[in-house]
Amino acid sequence: MAVTDITLDRAYLAAIWLETLFYGMNIVLFSSCLYVLIARRRTPRVNRYLVGIAVLMFCFSTCHVFLGFYRLIMGFIVLRNQPGGPAAFFSDVSIPANVAKVGLHTVNSIVGDSVVVWRCFLVWGRSWKMCLIPMLLVCASAICGFGQTVYFARGQKYHSAFAPALVRWNGSLFSLSLATNMVVTILVALRAWHMLRLSGGAAGFRYFKILIIIIESGMIYSVALICEVTLYFLGLNSFYIVYDPIGQLTGIVPTMIIILAGLELTSNDVQSRFSRTQQLSLSAPRFRPGNTTTTDGSTAADDARSIPLDTMQFASVDSTFSKRKSAPGLAVDKFDDPELGETKTVLITPLDERTAE
């Protein structure tokens, strides 16, 4: 069955509309990220590295959407009467604005993938072994991305991104980026699920755990890359509808990860808080209204449910009358009871008080 496709100019128009929508989300997330890292930080100093990464990705995303609008105006307004119309304009991949856009997309993808790999590094207890393959994939993606940019700049004779000479570079870049995110997604998701599973929790917390795993592992970005790679190798213009918004997702997903880290809501933070709570509950004595705490940490009510009545120990009479020793007009005396073989304590009322009665 033949796959129905749309024209290039319509695909680009839909792509820029979606990218603008995602850019609005990016603005909100970027503002929230700065607020969390600066105004609401939980450390004495501002984490300059995270702030710098967030600002860098937002600047690249802003330039990307700006170049998209520039191409939109040039294709549909300024050069609309040129031979071939807007479709011919958008098919020319060697236009400087398009080359710059591709370069920015590559850099933003590398930074975003690096943040996801960094998250994987932290989730796995700062283990370089678990992140070795993703790091190599990121380096390979960078090589293919910059090589793609060079070929686009020299591609005056290519009037399509699906030209055979460009498919090698584009296909390699998209495949490596997808492989990077899939590997990291699986590694982070497995580790995060294992750590959050230790926290237990009610049904409401389970949904929160799923949300953390989706964001922390970059699963949203991986799904978008799957759609991008599929549409590209099918040779459909619908590929552009996914390709341009991904330029914003490369900044949105890492920014969400940074916000989670700043709010201490990552899987590491949840699990560590749960561990501290368990340690405190085990080490601290438990006090309940109306109950006494035994030496092993259990309450008297707990013991009453588990220990037979004939083996329970009761407080001696001495402890009952010890509080009344200092009461005025009262005296305490002790004597041995030969029948019971124990010492008994009695309360003696002074003679003058008995006389008064």
Q: What is the mean predicted confidence (pLDDT) over 179-200? A: 78
More confident residue, 280 or 290: 280
For the chain, the domain total comes to: 2
Per-residue pLDDT for 110 more than 60? yes
Q: In this structure, is residue 308 part of a structural domain?
A: no
108 plus 163 within the same structural domain: yes
Please write the tens of the pLDDT for every residue from 312-326.
333 444 444 444 444
Mean of the pLDDT values across residues 140-162? Answer: 81
Looking at the fold, whether 229 and 326 belong to one and the same domain comes out as no
Are 64 and 168 members of one domain?
yes
Question: Is residue 290 included in any domain, yes or no?
Answer: no
The larger pLDDT score, comparing residue 234 to residue 340, is at: 234
Please compute the mean of the pLDDT values over residues 298-323 and round it to a whole number.
Answer: 41
**What's the mean pLDDT in 119-132?**
84
> Does 270 lie in the same domain as 324?
no
Instruction: List 184's β-bridge partners, or say none.
Output: none
Which whole number is the average pLDDT over 135-154?
88
For 7-37, what is each residue's pLDDT tens digit?
Answer: 888 999 999 999 999 999 999 999 999 999 8
Q: Is the pLDDT of residue 281 over 50?
A: yes
CA 106 and chain centroid, separation: 24
Rounded average pLDDT over 195-216: 62
Element (H, E) at 332: strand 331-337
Give the CATH number of the domain where residue 253 resides.
Answer: 1.20.1070
Residue 346, domain extent:
318-357
pLDDT at position 3 is 60
Cross-strand pairs, 344: 335
| Mean of per-residue pLDDT scores for the chain | 75
User: Do both 209 and 333 map to the same domain?
Assistant: no
Whether residue 334 sits in one domain with residue 231: no
pLDDT, mean of residues 287-291: 50
pTM of the full structure: 0.69
Compute the distance between CA of residue 305 and CA of residue 172 in angstroms, rounded to an integer.
Answer: 68
Q: Is the pLDDT of residue 159 over 50?
A: yes
- Please, is 305 exposed, middle or buried when counting C-beta atoms within 10 Å of its C-beta (0-12, 13-18, 19+)? exposed
Please tell me which of 91-95, 234-238, 304-308 the model is most confident about, judged by mean pLDDT.
234-238
**Do 249 and 22 meet the contact criterion of CB atoms below 8 Å apart?**
yes
Confidence of residue 139 (pLDDT cuts 50, 70, 90): very high
